[in-house]
Amino acid sequence: MKTIYLDNNATTQMAPEVIEIMQESYALYGNASSMHSLGRESMVAIEAARSSVARMIGADGAEIIFTSGGSESDNTVLMLARDMIDEGSKRHRIVTSTIEHPAIIETCQYLEKKGYHIDYVNVDASGRIDSDSFAQLMGDDVLLVSIMAGNNETGTIQDIQKLTQIAHAAGALMHTDAVQAIGKMETDVRQWGVDYLSLSGHKFYGPKGVGALYVRKGAPFKAFVKGGHQEDGNRAGTYNTAAIVGMGRAADLVFETSVQERQNLWYLREKLRTGLQAAIPNVVVNGHPTLCLPGTLNVSFAGAEGESILLMLDFEGIAVSTGSACATGSLEPSYVLLAGGLDVELAHGSIRFSLGRYNTESDIDYVLEKMPTIIRRLREISTR
């Protein structure tokens, strides 16, 4: 049976070039914090990876802090804001959106329970934030704004540069969760003007368990993970040399190939979208039609449950998702889709196809061959 992997927003397979360099780096067993030659060898490799990650997003190496991934990076920024409020900042409000990743949403909900003031900006039917509504939430009491660059479920892209300008005009700090954006859209911290940016290696063909946080030079910062002097005291913990090196190589590949890759992903996405809409009636495409991550296609099928579609596709060797992988096991419809005003039934019938670097036209042809029969069978069952 064929295996078609269309769940790249959940995680990507490691690039062969990444696997190769990681295998080589396992020989660098010296602790990078040690002063002897074996430690220095590891640190040289780590610093090279830091430069690669920085180049990928238009930053300086000194502005990159290695973390365990996007969730830690997100939490670090929110807990920084909490500490600043606790220390007497006159600014005491945090603003985010209703469609953020659970690493932001659930942390904000935790802070709310502790008495911190969180405001959530709404999105329109396409998942976009209205800049006027966003501006109305700004004020001299806003400390931090956190808005994702590209949504993990619908793929909808936000205008981070404009939102940052509005936030900065109000004197607030700006963070963006760019975990899904890396490699799929132009990501330049200087152009965007953000103070903080989160990324994760396994979303762009690197290893799991490693990520980074960009902190603009001069922006407030203190360590979230404490207990050591690593990362100039900004993040404690023994360096995972192989994973960091692997992420650095993945960053190089993004820098070298992302433009062509984005064009190819959009072509495949549109082939899948038009094919589904031509072959299956009552198909609703979720998210913005053009301001969308090129490999993401979120579709709702009226009269069919998303979980059932997923299982039947899996039986045919096709791996997809019903939404965010972080919500797997939940029977609740996607809060991201509901935030955009989608009907509950349609939200329950949504499937996220997320294409990646190694997908081909034959993959799309195979999906288009199998989908009409699956949807027809499920609709027949639901009307009996």
pLDDT tens for each residue of 67-105: 999 999 999 999 999 999 999 999 999 999 999 999 999
Dihedral sign, CA of 48, 50, 51, 57? positive
- Residue 191's φ and ψ, nearest 5 degrees, are -65, -45
Q: Outline where DSSP puts E strands in the chain.
A: 4-5, 64-67, 93-97, 117-121, 142-146, 173-177, 196-200, 211-215, 283-286, 296-301, 318-319, 350-354
Q: Answer yes or no: 326 catalytic.
A: yes
Instruction: Supply the pLDDT for residue 332.
Output: 80
Examine the domain organization and report whether 270 and 249 are in the same domain. Answer: no
What confidence tens digit (pLDDT) does each residue in 279-310 have? Answer: 999 999 999 999 999 999 999 999 999 999 99
- State the pLDDT confidence band at 382, using cuts at 50, 70 and 90: confident
Examine the domain organization and report whether 133 and 280 are in the same domain. Answer: no
Dist. CA 73–CA 304, nearest whole Å = 37
Examine the domain organization and report whether 157 and 213 are in the same domain. Answer: yes
* CATH number of residue 311's parent domain: 3.90.1150.10
Return mean pLDDT, the chain. 95
Q: What is the pTM of this model?
A: 0.96
Examine the domain organization and report whether 225 and 262 are in the same domain. Answer: no
What confidence tens digit (pLDDT) does each residue in 45-60 have? Answer: 999 999 999 999 999 9
The last residue of one of the domains, among 229, 253, 277, is 253
Range(s) of the domain holding residue 276: 4-12+258-382
Instruction: Supply the pLDDT for residue 383.
Output: 62
* CATH number of residue 127's parent domain: 3.40.640.10
Examine the domain organization and report whether 222 and 84 are in the same domain. Answer: yes
Mean pLDDT (whole number) for 203-229: 96
Edge-to-edge, what's the strand order for the sheet holding 296-301?
283-286, 296-301, 350-354
Examine the domain organization and report whether 127 and 243 are in the same domain. Answer: yes
Long-range contacts of 270-274 (CB under 8 A, 24+ apart): 271/361, 271/364, 272/297, 272/353, 272/355, 272/364, 272/367, 272/368, 273/297, 273/299
- Residue 383's φ and ψ, nearest 5 degrees, are -100, 0
Dihedral sign, CA of 66, 72, 74, 77? negative
Out of 279, 319, 326, 327, which one is annotated catalytic?
A: 326
pLDDT above 70 covers a percentage of the chain that reads 97
Instruction: Supply the pLDDT for residue 330.
Output: 56
Examine the domain organization and report whether 290 and 372 are in the same domain. Answer: yes
Examine the domain organization and report whether 262 and 245 are in the same domain. Answer: no
Instruction: Supply the pLDDT for residue 138.
Output: 98
Dist. CA 334–CA 338, nearest whole Å = 6
| DSSP letter assigned to residue 79 | H
Examine the domain organization and report whether 199 and 127 are in the same domain. Answer: yes
